[in-house]
Amino acid sequence: MNSQRPDALTGAADTCWFLYMIETAAGALYTGITTDVERRFGEHCGSRRGARALRGKGPLTLVHYERVGSRSEALKLEASLKRLSAAGKRAWLTTRPACRDR
């Protein structure tokens, strides 16, 4: 049994996914998805489980997160944001409310 992804085995549709953005000390924006923003941000800040792209780039600041819904919706939104330039991501951020659960 896979203890890392019980929702994948049970088919639980009620797992809620979040999109988040982290800003590095140099001002770069990192975009990701998770089911637990607090846990994932902690991993990025001080764990080997954090994204390699963020290692040594701290201090890190969580600049945005929002509830997206399904994993599929979160992946689609993440992919569209990752295609944007840094200026495009910042412009997108101005259209979003402060960090919240939607």
**Is residue 34 a part of any domain in this protein?**
yes
pLDDT-above-90 percentage for the chain? 61
**Is residue 2 a part of any domain in this protein?**
no
Cα torsion through 60, 67, 31, 3, rounded to 10: 90
Q: Is 62 exposed, middle or buried (0-12, 13-18, 19+ CB in 10 A)?
A: middle
| CA distances (Å), origin 42, targets 37, 60, 98 | 8, 10, 20
- CATH label of the domain that carries residue 30: 3.40.1440.10
**Is residue 11 a part of any domain in this protein?**
no
Number of domains within the chain: 1
pTM for the predicted model, two decimal places: 0.79
Residue 82: CA atoms inside 13 Å, Cβ hemisphere, count? 12
- Average pLDDT along the chain: 83
Residue 88 sits in which domain range? Answer: 16-94
User: CA 21, CA 2: separation in Å to the nearest integer?
Assistant: 28
pLDDT tens, residue by residue, 28-56: 999 999 999 999 999 988 877 878 778 88
**Is residue 70 a part of any domain in this protein?**
yes
**Is residue 4 a part of any domain in this protein?**
no
**Is residue 9 a part of any domain in this protein?**
no
Residues ≥6 apart with Cβ < 8 Å to 91: none
**Is residue 47 a part of any domain in this protein?**
yes
**Is residue 8 a part of any domain in this protein?**
no
